[in-house]
Structure 1
Amino acid sequence: MVQPTAATFVLHECDNSHNPSEDRISELHDEILVTILSRLTIEEAARTSVLSHRWEHLWTSITVLNFDVSNFDVSGILSENTWLGKRVLEIKRSRYVCWVNQVLKSHLGPTIEEFRIVFDLTDGCDIDSWIKFAIEKNVQRLELDLLVFHGRRCQMQQWYTFPTQCLGFASFKSLTALQLKNVKVTEEVFNYFLSNCPFLEQFCVIHSSDLVNIKVAGPSLKLKYLEISHCARLESIEISAKDLVSFKYDGKKIRMEFKNVPCLVEVLFGLPFSDLIIHNFSEFYGWLSHLKTLKLALAPERYQKEFPPKFPVLQNLKHLELKIYSCGRKSLLPFMSLIKACPFLYSFTLEAFWSLDFSIVRELEATEKCPHKCLKVVEFVGFVGIPVEIKAAMYLIENAVSLEKIIINPSLRMKGKPFDFEGRELLATDFVWRQQLSREHARQLGTKLHPGTKLVIL
């Protein structure tokens, strides 16, 4: 059964042919109707123009302009990188550009809250004019993601540099959130936004090849959420932001310094920088000790030496998430030493990415018990049910004396092509069978739970 969309609801309520007395929505003020339409997709909002003369231009004042790639069928783009595939991409790109230009030309509203451009574009597209449009409309949330599709996999590259000629517009003072992905962001542009956007709270830069040294500081800085990821030439980050709450960095090992971050409570580090944190924990302990949430990406095969068996105590940490990129050959139990360092931990999430064959997984030695009195929720994402996972799960079940819920998500997450336990490539039917088997392993693990502990299998 097809579920009605929000636009269908509006059309139904405003259809006077059945019962005019039921048309309550049309009695609302224009401002309220525009707010409602702004919650729809652009296409849905535009369809309401056929309702009546009053509705004809209401959609042109919507405050959310989300030109996301998900609005298009990209199946043709993801095919082999053939002449036909390139031609399909060119057609879809042309349609996307026409769609954006048409909507912007029709827009009559004085301001916009959100403006998103997410598509594979080339230097023939007039992106500068789109940004200028958003600036002139006092945009509050701006996202630019110029993802690039090649063949079967999405490859990241940057050809577009954020235009410096757009800087200096007074309208940038309305900006509260900025995301720039697959865009060349110079240090001049980066520093400009930090210095000239007094209400900027969220700043995200992903896949930018122009950043080398970043300094996040300023007396009027209101930044609360910062993400810097996959910037290949980056060498250093220095942060002094008294309001910063959350920080994410995913990339190579660089020099990183936190000087004044009293409100920082959430941090996420990807590989390989997380290795630097693990092996230099004491060096970063000053600000790590204040965290409430810590998320790390780790890989057992990266540790030629033993994983540190002991860490300084993190008294404030309540939520710990580990992404484990593993080949299935090494134990997960050493990573439990991080849990041991968090006496007041409330929730723990282990997300596993498996690859290659699991048949050579060796048996694991037991680890010493360490009661976790505050741990209430444990979640396994990508659960397969192989020995390394079962051992880690049993450790948590036996030591989390107050455990209330264990959540198991058996969706397989693997690097490269999915393989079975014997190393053979999985077909679609085998993949479904493997997931069913993973669910069965999860149910068997549920029999080991203490009374009162709830098992949730997603």
Structure 2
Amino acid sequence: MGTPEQMKALSIQGQTQDPITGDGSTCSAAQIKADSNCAEGTESPVHLPEDILHRIHALMPIRDAAQAACVSHAFLRSWRYYPRLILSVDSLGIKDYGSKYDELTRDFISRVDHIMQNHSGMGVKEFRLENYPCSTMDPSTVDRWVQVAITPGIKEFDLSLFELSDIKYSFPCSLLSGERGSSIQSLMLAGCSLRSLEQAGFMSSLTNLDLHSVDVTGEELFCFLSNSYALEKISLWNCNNIICLKIPCQLQKLNFLEVLDCEMLEMIDSNAPNLSTLSCSGRQTHISLGHASQVRKIRFRCDYSSNALDYAITKLPLIAPNLQILYLSIIDETINIPTAFGKFLQLKHLEIILHAPNSLDFDFCCLISFLDASPALETFILRIGMPTIRHDSIVEDVISDSSHPLHLSESCYDNLKNVMITGFCSAKSMIELTIHIMVKTKSLECLTLDTTRGHDRRFANIDRCWPMDAEALVEAGKARIAIQRYIEGRVPVAVNLKVIEPCSKCSY
């Protein structure tokens, strides 16, 4: 039958409910016995003020907080004001149903319903709902949760929806008006639509706005932004109804703008005076940053454009004249020699990533234009992600003469100290570019030639490198021969040459 203490604990266990599932408590008898005094409302050996217990409870993950509410009346009272509702399949401990997504969805809805019904709606500071992989939920189900969650005093709201139905959930913007909206500091919406944004009112505390796969027009968004003066960071991803993105001048604190893969976007027109970082990707768009002389960092990825390098070197110096850090990621480039009409007078760090240009004989020497346009440059990184077998390999060119320094440009790079090339190959123009840099750079301290896919970005957590197939390993061998034959003998004594070759963890 067990000891009296065990029976007492089991009796309490049968009388309590799990605040997540609504079922009988799943807490162990040992857990309940440990707090049986508190559960019965008698004096605990350690008596803490209720506000301290609430603070302790608020720091627990949601599953631990629910278990504590199973065994303690004090924590059960606190549960109704629990401030951090993090709702996902993982956080709620829902078991793996395999391919039975309908059963998983029913379980998820049941648990969230029980949590929201037993919460007072008061005291919520952080609400995060992620329904993946529950793909058969009705938008009305989400709506009743959202109506409870957005209460006065909430600071962080994160709603990530995955394939609810053919019609996206229409977020009720009216909930963002008045006292409820004025306390929100971070708003993240994914997989829904935004309409009637003028109902949102003034978002006086909002500093971070993140919209992912949200149906919203540029005009609607402009209205919302105009009432969000405190914004510091805006991230838009895959918002395909925006054609013209306008950032109002009222956003005096905005320093970070990210616009990624918005397919219909044609123009970014920002008048935020203190913008310092711009990140954009997709097709080429017209960019105007007004008088934002504070822009210091740009990440620019241009997909499927034949003249992206030319656009970058001719337009970006005019768009951001005080740029210091520039990341360029280019796909399918065919134009080899961009002409520098402007100068990156303050650029110190330049990283160019080239992915599979249409021409296998891409002329790497065209990149010298970027070096010529950047007199203050200190670090230059070039990453190659091209077809692995080079048809212009200098190793196989028996008539090639690289015994004399080439005069590809008259400019000297007086501040350049660190150069790294990953995906280094045996192309003749790659060797010529490297020799040119060594000859024209008296300040060079470190030259890293990496014949792998990027040893500096290997998967440290799983102790793996970026994988290389058989052809890539063959090309790496040719690149090593080219380095020995044409580069090593020219390296100045003061320069630290690092040659990185594939290891056993680079192959598939």
TM over 0.5: yes
Cα distance, 1:375–1:138 mapped onto 2, change above 3 Å: farther
RMSD: 5.1
2:251–2:272 Cα contact (<8 Å) kept: no
Work out the CA distance in 2 between the residues paired with 1:57 and 1:371.
72
431, 441, 444: which is aligned to 1:402? 444
292, 308, 322: which is aligned to 2:324? 292
Please give the per-residue CA displacement for 1:13-33, whole angstroms capped at 9, x wherever unaligned: x9x99xxxxxx9x99945764
Structure 1 residue 316, shift from structure 2 partner: 1.6
Does 1:278 find its partner at 2:318? no
Structure 1 residue 290, shift from structure 2 partner: 1.4
196, 217, 225: which is aligned to 1:194? 225
226, 230, 235: which is aligned to 2:266? 235
Residue 196 of structure 2 is matched in structure 1 by none
Please give the per-residue CA displacement for 1:62-92, whole angstroms capped at 9, x wherever unaligned: 655555788799xx99xxxxxxx9x544455
Same amino acid, percent of matched pairs: 19
What does 1:40-439 align with in structure 2 at a 5 Å threshold? 42-43=62-63, 88-98=100-110, 100-101=112-113, 104-105=116-117, 110-113=123-126, 115=128, 117=130, 119=132, 121=135, 124-125=138-139, 126-136=141-151, 138-146=153-161, 159-173=168-182, 174=184, 175-187=206-218, 189-219=220-250, 221-272=252-303, 275=307, 278-279=310-311, 281-282=313-314, 284-299=316-331, 301-303=332-334, 305-327=335-357, 328-355=360-387, 358-363=389-394, 368=408, 371-380=412-421, 383-388=422-427, 391=431, 401-404=443-446, 406=448, 410-411=452-453, 431=468
484, 496, 502: which is aligned to 1:453? 496
User: What number of residue pairs does the alignment pair up?
Assistant: 401
Work out the CA distance in 1 between the residues paired with 2:333 and 2:77.
59
Structure 1 residue 287, shift from structure 2 partner: 3.3
In structure 2, runs of 5+ residues without a counterpart are 1-30, 35-45, 185-205, 395-399, 456-466, 501-505
Secondary structure of the residue aligned to 1:337 is helix
Secondary structure of the residue aligned to 2:290 is strand
Structure 1 residue 217, shift from structure 2 partner: 0.6
1:115–1:139 Cα contact (<8 Å) kept: no
In structure 1, runs of 5+ residues without a counterpart are 1-13, 18-23, 78-84, 150-156, 414-429
Cα distance, 1:452–1:235 mapped onto 2, change above 3 Å: closer
Structure 1 residue 216, shift from structure 2 partner: 0.9
Please give the per-residue CA displacement for 1:185-219, whole angstroms capped at 9, x wherever unaligned: 23454124312223222222211232222221143
Larger mean Cα displacement after TM superposition, 246-255 or 371-380: 371-380
1:68–1:116 Cα contact (<8 Å) kept: yes
Work out the CA distance in 1 between the residues paired with 2:454 and 2:378.
26
2:276–2:294 Cα contact (<8 Å) kept: yes
Work out the CA distance in 1 between the residues paired with 2:230 and 2:361.
49
Larger mean Cα displacement after TM superposition, 434-443 or 97-106: 434-443
TM-score, with structure 2 as normaliser: 0.61
2:57–2:75 Cα contact (<8 Å) kept: no
Larger mean Cα displacement after TM superposition, 247-256 or 235-244: 247-256
Work out the CA distance in 1 between the residues paired with 2:117 and 2:352.
47
TM-score, with structure 1 as normaliser: 0.66
Structure 1 residue 271, shift from structure 2 partner: 1.5
Work out the CA distance in 1 between the residues paired with 2:171 and 2:451.
40
2:309–2:333 Cα contact (<8 Å) kept: no
Bigger Cα Rg: 2
Work out the CA distance in 1 between the residues paired with 2:257 and 2:151.
25
1:329–1:358 Cα contact (<8 Å) kept: no
Cα distance, 1:315–1:140 mapped onto 2, change above 3 Å: farther
The aligned amino acid for 1:353 is G
Larger mean Cα displacement after TM superposition, 259-268 or 385-394: 385-394
Please give the per-residue CA displacement for 1:324-374, whole angstroms capped at 9, x wherever unaligned: 11255413332242133222223333343334x525345499663654343
Work out the CA distance in 1 between the residues paired with 2:244 and 2:343.
32
Work out the CA distance in 2 between the residues paired with 1:358 and 1:224.
43
Work out the CA distance in 1 between the residues paired with 2:342 and 2:129.
43
Work out the CA distance in 1 between the residues paired with 2:73 and 2:446.
57
Please give the per-residue CA displacement for 1:216-251, whole angstroms capped at 9, x wherever unaligned: 114355322222222233333321001222222222
Structure 1 residue 45, shift from structure 2 partner: 6.0
